[in-house]
Structure 1
């Protein structure tokens, strides 16, 4: 009985540590995404500033190339992200089928 209690306590400690690591990973992932969004916003403002300067100095061809490439990259990244991100919405289950029970994790 004492060995079984120690095994359960050890398993609980592993579960707590696993949960803590998952929370830390999610926190780091949120910071990475936020940092990327701010970087994208800053680059967009920089491109708009250069574009405005090119138009004001009369370099219309350079402004057109810059605007076209900025729009192409923006649309391309939007399409790429929407194609490769998994859908957040659950898939509908066909009528008459039961959902499978989750598989329990193995205890070692």
Structure 2
């Protein structure tokens, strides 16, 4: 028996639903490949941003450490100046024994 050319063979010509399903499967596969590429690019960008943030964090840590060091040095200087001022006032008081009062000298010592 010879096949009738008008008769459709489901194996050779799939119905339109199957053809669209096959093309959407190809699109899904292609979409998955694009997603994988996007993920790889995103991971590279993420690593780049992460490295940049790490370097910024390191720089900020260094600045904070310098700030702490400066603060400690300023506090030491302030304490030293207070001690020097106190000793100068004591020497001045001993030198004058409280008997002489010179307004100019007292004003200079207060400032």
After superposition, where does 1:32-47 map in structure 2 within 5 Å? 32-47=70-85
Take 1:38 and 1:3, find their aligned partners in 2: how far apart are those partners?
A: 53
- Normalised by the length of structure 1, the TM-score is 0.56
Q: What are the ranges of 5 or more consecutive residues in structure 2 without an aligned counterpart?
A: 1-36
Bigger helix share: 2
Take 1:45 and 1:60, find their aligned partners in 2: how far apart are those partners?
A: 23
Take 1:60 and 1:52, find their aligned partners in 2: how far apart are those partners?
A: 14
**What is the alpha-carbon root mean square deviation over aligned residues?**
1.7
- Normalised by the length of structure 2, the TM-score is 0.54
Larger Rg: 2
Q: What are the ranges of 5 or more consecutive residues in structure 1 without an aligned counterpart?
A: 70-108
Take 1:60 and 1:27, find their aligned partners in 2: how far apart are those partners?
A: 48
The alignment of Structure 1 onto Structure 2 pairs a total of residues equal to: 68
